[in-house]
Amino acid sequence: MNADKQAIKRSLVFFLVPDFTMVAFATALDPLRIANRMLGYEAYRWRLASLDGRPVRASNGVECAVNTSLDDERRKMGGSDRPSMAVVCTGVNIEKYQNKSVFAWLREEYNRGVAIGGLCTGAYVLAAAGLLSNRRCAIHWENLPGFSEAFPKANVFADLFEVEQNIYTCAGGTAALDMMLKLIGEDFDDNLVNRICEQVLTDRVRSPTDRQRLPLRARLGVQNSKVLTIIELMEANLSEPLSLIEIADHVGLSRRQIERLFRTEMGRSPARYYLEIRLDRARHLLIQSSMPVVEVAVACGFVSASHFSKCYRELYARSPQQERVDRKQLLAA
State yes or no: pLDDT of 260 exceeds 90. Answer: yes
State yes or no: pLDDT of 314 exceeds 80. Answer: yes
* Residue 16 and residue 97 in contact, taking contact as beta carbons nearer than 8 Å: no
**Whole-number pLDDT of residue 155:** 94
**Whole-number pLDDT of residue 221:** 76
Cα of first residue to Cα of last residue in the chain, in angstroms, is 54
* Residue 254 and residue 232 in contact, taking contact as beta carbons nearer than 8 Å: no
Kindly report, residue by residue over 87-114, the tens digit of the pLDDT: 999 998 898 799 999 999 999 999 999 9
Which residue did the predictor score with more confidence, 42 or 333? 42
What is the C-alpha to C-alpha distance for residues 187 and 43, in angstroms, rounded to an integer?
A: 10
Facing residues of 44 across strands?
Answer: 10
To the nearest whole number, what is the mean pLDDT of the chain? 91
Domain spanning 3-200: CATH 3.40.50.970? no
Q: Where are the domains of the chain?
A: 3-200, 216-332
What mean pLDDT do residues 166-192 have? 94
For residue 133, report the phi and psi dihedrals to the nearest 5 degrees.
Answer: -65, 125
Which residue did the predictor score with more confidence, 308 or 222? 308
What mean pLDDT do residues 294-320 have? 94
Look at residues 163, 174, 122, 162 and name the one whose alpha carbon lies nearest to residue 143: 122
What is the C-alpha to C-alpha distance for residues 79 and 16, in angstroms, rounded to an integer?
A: 22
**Whole-number pLDDT of residue 2:** 46
Facing residues of 118 across strands?
Answer: 88, 169
3-state secondary structure 220-268: HCCCCHHHHHHHHHHHHCCCCCCCHHHHHHHHCCCHHHHHHHHHHHCCC
The residues, any chain, with a CB within 8 Å of residue 197's CB and separated by 6 or more, are 181, 203, 204, 205
Kindly report, residue by residue over 232-256, the tens digit of the pLDDT: 899 889 999 999 999 999 999 999 9
**Whole-number pLDDT of residue 3:** 42
Give domain 216-332's CATH architecture: Orthogonal Bundle (1.10)
State yes or no: pLDDT of 124 exceeds 50. Answer: yes
Look at residues 90, 73, 88, 92 and name the one whose alpha carbon lies nearest to residue 168: 88
**Whole-number pLDDT of residue 211:** 66
**Whole-number pLDDT of residue 287:** 83
**Whole-number pLDDT of residue 213:** 66
- List the Cα angle 199/205/211 in 5-degree steps: 130
Residue 291's CB is within 10 A of a number of other CB atoms, namely: 17
Alpha-carbon separation of residue 152 from 127, 141, 211, 299 (angstroms)? 10, 16, 22, 13
pLDDT confidence bin for 12, thresholds 50/70/90: very high
State yes or no: pLDDT of 156 exceeds 50. Answer: yes
For residue 84, report the phi and psi dihedrals to the nearest 5 degrees.
Answer: -90, -15
What is the C-alpha to C-alpha distance for residues 319 and 72, in angstroms, rounded to an integer?
A: 46
